[in-house]
Amino acid sequence: MNIVPTIIVIFGGTGDLTWRKLMPSLFDLHRDERMPKQFAIIGVGRTPCSDAKLRERFLAGVKRFSRKGMAKSADWNGFARHVTYQQGDYSDPATYSNLEKSCAKLEKDWKMKATRIFHMATPPALFGVIPKMLTDAGLNRDRAHVRLVVEKPIGHDLDSARKLNRTLTESFHESQIFRIDHYLGKETVQNILAFRFANPLFEPIWNRRYVDYVTLTVAETVGVEERGGYYDHAGALRDMVQSHLLQLLCLVAMEPMVSFNADEIRNKKVDVLHAVCPIRVGSVNECAVRGQYGIGRLDGRPVRGYRREDDISPHSPTETYAALKLFIDNWRWQGVPFYLRTGKRMARQVSEVAIQFRAAPHQSFPPESGRDWHPSCLVLSIQPEEGITLCFQAKYPGRRMLLRPVEMRFNYEESFGVPSPDAYETLLRDVMDNDPTLFVRADMVEAAWRLLMPVLEGWANDRPRGFPNYAAGSWGPKAADELLGRDGHFWRPSA
Ligand code: BG6
């Protein structure tokens, strides 16, 4: 248990992210005795609210979203007494002087300097305001004790991301800034490094000599839910590819780190983004596909199309699906295509990375032996299944040499018998421990935007024709299958 007293100030205290993710995770950390002995959580928001009302709302959130389920009242009461609310406008200096007073009082009671964590769980328009106000109030000064947590999206494009990074680093040192990409907190995502670099068996074949192509899929069955207002201005490329998918790409393609040092790992990751072959605005259609879902069926029930969702324009050109074909210009990956796709309202929720190995260089088996013959494939399942599967060929029992595909599986739950923590539990705990390994550095955010700018520009200049172009409950637009089909490749999982 961390002995440093900690004050967590959550801007956006009455907001959706705090309710759904932050408070259930903090409470679960508390239930697992992983919170500091002395801590306080101060929710800040514009809406009038009392401590009691806020705690009630958080308890409802815990009941709905906590990994560990319902709260025993003794556990909840023990936690809730640490939670208070402070109403205030984000651009009013009084909000920050009040915060300073609250923090100073807690530290006086604890007779110790506390770690102060300022978590911006607000709409992104405030990301530029809050750090400046914290600076004006002198709340940013103590580099050793003060941290700033920023949720995505970091910018809307390269320019705005640069501008925001400048604003953040004018107020805080980069080492104090924790940019969250919650995929990095998922156990299965962290396991990519463990799998690749703790097992010398795989590293020698993790390259262009043995790997034919790689597919990365993050498919969701949910639509835009209550976030239409945000999503319609973002779209799948900004919302998912710029962050989660490119982070996955980095972990799959990076060179081995020399040590488990946060910056060493992040340097190796950002090298991947720097090595991706730039996309030319003129050739976007050759390597990118966008889609938008229309009316369809999911789990046997009818689902409305994107343009009929709440807060979405009925003529919206926003993509709810994006697929990309990328090449990494380095010794390891020269010529190996990496196909990335993500979409909402797809047939099934699945996030996985599939490494498709090359075919055997020479086929010595009789042609009739391999009716179902496929080259070997290694699947890193991120969610909802959590594990790793190696698909390969085996001899089918009998007198004849018949080859059939089989699978060797590792499953987290079966192997370890312990539930995985929620990504936010891991990340919030890492902020308290001042461990930036799983957070996104400024240069990475900018490299990711730089890579996608030609696609964003290409798509902005060319209004999509034929939207909606995939039915809710399907695997996305046909053009995305053709993107791989042209190379003789297939998505995994396939339709
Ligand atoms: C968020 C996106 O970052 O990730 C959402 O903004 C998306 O649109 C979500 O639904 C997916 O996260 P997860 O953990 O449910 O796969």
Which residue's CA lies nearest to atom 6 of ligand 1? Answer: 239
Q: Is 220 in the pocket of ligand 1 (CB under 6 A)?
A: yes
What pLDDT is attached to residue 2? 54
| Higher per-residue confidence, 370 vs 429 | 429
What pLDDT, on the 0 to 100 scale, is given for residue 292?
A: 98
Query: Is 224 a residue whose pLDDT tops 60?
Result: yes
* pLDDT(431) > 70: yes
Structure confidence by residue, pLDDT tens digits, 449-472: 999 999 999 999 999 989 999 999
- For the chain, give the percent of residues with pLDDT over 70: 99
pLDDT of residue 225: 86
Mind listing the pLDDT tens digit for each residue in 74-87? 999 999 999 999 99
pLDDT of residue 370: 75
If you measure from the C-alpha of residue 192 to the centroid of ligand 1, how many angstroms do you get, rounded to a whole number?
19
Give the residue whose CA is nearest to atom 8 of ligand 1: 239
pLDDT in tens, 11-22: 999 999 999 999
Q: 315 an active-site residue?
A: no
**pLDDT-wise least confident of 37-41, 343-347, 368-372:** 368-372
For residues 192-203, average pLDDT: 94
d(CA 245, ligand 1 centre) in Å: 11
Task: Write down the pLDDT at residue 87.
Answer: 96
Q: Which of 30, 82, 244, 489 is catalytic?
A: 244
Mean pLDDT (whole number) for 249-265: 97
Is residue 49 predicted with pLDDT exceeding 80? yes
CA of 301 to the centre of ligand 1 (A): 23
What's the CA-to-centroid distance between 239 and ligand 1, angstroms?
Answer: 8
Atom nearest to 423 CA in ligand 1: 14
pLDDT band at 285; cut points 50, 70, 90? very high
Task: Tell me the pLDDT band of 1, cut-offs 50, 70 and 90.
Answer: low
3-state secondary structure the chain: CCCCCEEEEEECCCCHHHHHHHHHHHHHHHHCCCCCCCEEEEEEECCCCCHHHHHHHHHHHHHHHCCCCCCCHHHHHHHHCCEEEEECCCCCHHHHHHHHHHHHHHHHHHCCCCEEEEEECCCHHHCCHHHHHHHHCCCCCCCCCEEEEECCCCCCCHHHHHHHHHHHHHHCCHHHEEECCHHHHCHHHHHHHHHHHHCCCCHHHCCCCCEEEEEEEEECCCCCCCCHHHHHHHCHHHHHHHHHHHHHHHHHHCCCCCCCCHHHHHHHHHHHHHHECCCCHHHHHHHEEEECEECEEECCEEECCHHHCCCCCCCCCCCCEEEEEEEECCCCCCCCEEEEEEECCECCCEEEEEEEECCCCCCCCCHHHHCCCCCCEEEEEEECCCEEEEEEEEEECCCCCEEEEEEEEEEHHHHHCCCCCCHHHHHHHHHHCCCCCCCCCHHHHHHHHHHHHHHHHHHHHCCCCCCCCEECCECCCHHHHHHHHCCCCCCCCCC
What's the pLDDT score for residue 248? 98
- Output the pLDDT for position 367: 80
Q: Which residue CA neighbors atom 15 of ligand 1 most closely?
A: 220
Ligand 1 centre distance from Cα of residue 173 (Å): 28
Take atom 9 of ligand 1 and give the residue whose Cα is closest. 240
Pick the residue whose CA is nearest to atom 14 on ligand 1: 183
Look at residue 365 in the predicted model and tell me its pLDDT. 86
Q: Does ligand 1 lie within 6 Å of residue 230's CB atom?
A: no
For 94-141, what is each residue's pLDDT tens digit? 999 999 999 999 999 999 999 999 999 999 999 999 999 999 999 988
Quick: pLDDT tens for 135-148: 999 998 888 999 99
